[in-house]
Amino acid sequence: MKAGASAPGKVILFGEHFVVKGIPALAMAVNLRAEALVEEDQKGCYRVESSVEKGELCGDDPRPEPGAQAYAYLARRAGLKGASIALSSRIPPGAGLGSSAATSAAVAGASLFLVGRRGRELKEEARQLAMEGERVFHGKPSGVDVTVAVEGGLVAYRLPTDYRVLPPPRLEGGVLLLADTGVPRSTREAVMRVLERLERRKPVMETVYEAASVLTREAEKALTEGDLAAVGELMDIAQGLLSSIGVSFPQAEALIHEARRRGALGAKITGAGLGGSVIVLVEEDRAPVVEQALLAKGAVRVLRLSPEPRGLVVEGPL
Ligand code: MEV
């Protein structure tokens, strides 16, 4: 039997890194999806293939390596006796858009369908299982990426596992751009560096974390009211906080300053930082100018992001 599933990428609007220590974060599913087609067999091996990677896990192989093997591991953990897994994705990897989380959610969703899970139970188990995939990739993820991949929409997420799915953010009259610096990044390393600074400079860092908590609260209000100027200003403040915890980097700073100089409402790093992408909020009529300016300043790609209401979607049997 075969099943297919897809899940969206995400963009963290507010609260990355702070979320690891229990501060709420706001993340939005975006209109780029990853897909998995899983076919069960009884051969005891789990083969993964996409246009960019291949991997296999057989029998009782120990814990997988990050990459294709991690997806194979999810099919095994779901309870399949063997499987061929075909992956495809429109989410650029390494851009901070949660491509591994979306792929993990899709593989988990299709595999769980094949072992008989349905509905809400399938979604909740897929979230837990996809989190195991993320642990292979990133060490100790907060879970915000996989939660958005499974639920879609706008999610307010707080550890341990408290989350709310909010109405889609109101961005009428504005455009949310993602500009990829092209600088490779490691989420695991960025998270470790932030936690080390938190330990080293505890009293001052704690006040930064407190500010981040208030910021997310204000941002939720601004996003649900559609107050674009406030969202932009809060993004600028968020960038200041991300800089204080040590995850800003020169190529991101250059893009952020250029966007602001060209009239953007606000700009910040999104995701782990020390590489990856920045997001920019800009009024619709300024968007083409800002897009061109970001490319001229060295962005390797600029995408217009729109909210994606659909989270994990499973189709089967195929
Ligand atoms: C990475 O997309 C977001 C971080 O907050 C890490 C996490 O939440 O697991 C940096």
Domain CATH code at residue 141: 3.30.230.10
- Are residue 140 and residue 192 in the same domain, yes or no? no
Tens digit of each residue's pLDDT (9 = 90 or more) over 19-55: 999 999 999 999 999 999 999 998 889 999 998 889 9
Tens digit of each residue's pLDDT (9 = 90 or more) over 224-235: 999 999 999 999
- Are residue 93 and residue 205 in the same domain, yes or no? no
- Are residue 90 and residue 187 in the same domain, yes or no? no
Q: Look at residues 238, 279, 277 and name the one whose alpha carbon lies nearest to residue 16.
A: 238
Tens digit of each residue's pLDDT (9 = 90 or more) over 258-315: 999 999 999 999 999 999 999 999 999 999 999 999 999 999 999 999 999 999 999 9
Tens digit of each residue's pLDDT (9 = 90 or more) over 96-150: 899 999 999 999 999 999 999 999 999 999 999 999 988 887 778 899 999 999 9
- Are residue 229 and residue 255 in the same domain, yes or no? yes
Ligand 1: lining residues by beta carbon, under 6 Å? 12, 16-17, 19-20, 141-142, 144-145, 187, 191, 271-272
Query: Which atom of ligand 1 approaches the CA of 141 most closely?
Result: 9
Find the length of the chain.
318
236 is a catalytic site residue: no
- Please list, residue by residue across 234-273, b when 16 or more beta carbons sit within 10 angstroms of its beta carbon and e when fewer do: bbbbbbebbbbbbbbbebbbbbbebbbebebbbbbbbbbb
The confidence score (pLDDT) of residue 167 equals 86
Q: Look at residues 268, 263, 254, 265 and name the one whose alpha carbon lies nearest to residue 289.
A: 263
CB atoms near residue 206 (< 10 Å): 12
- Are residue 179 and residue 130 in the same domain, yes or no? no
Q: Which of the listed residues 10, 12, 148 should we mutate to test ligand 1's pocket, taking the one with most ligand atoms within 8 A of CB?
A: 12
Please state the domain count of the chain.
2
Q: What confidence tier does 187 reach under pLDDT thresholds 50, 70, 90?
A: confident
Expressed in angstroms and rounded, the spacing between residue 281 Cα and the centre of ligand 1 is 21
Residue 62 burial (C-beta neighbours within 10 Å; 0-12, 13-18, 19+): exposed
C-alpha to C-alpha distance for 206 and 60, rounded to whole angstroms: 44
Q: Based on DSSP, count helices (H) and strands (E) in the chain, helices before strands.
A: 9, 12
The domain that holds 198 is classified in CATH as 3.30.70.890
The confidence score (pLDDT) of residue 154 equals 96
Task: For residue 298, give its domain range.
Answer: 174-305
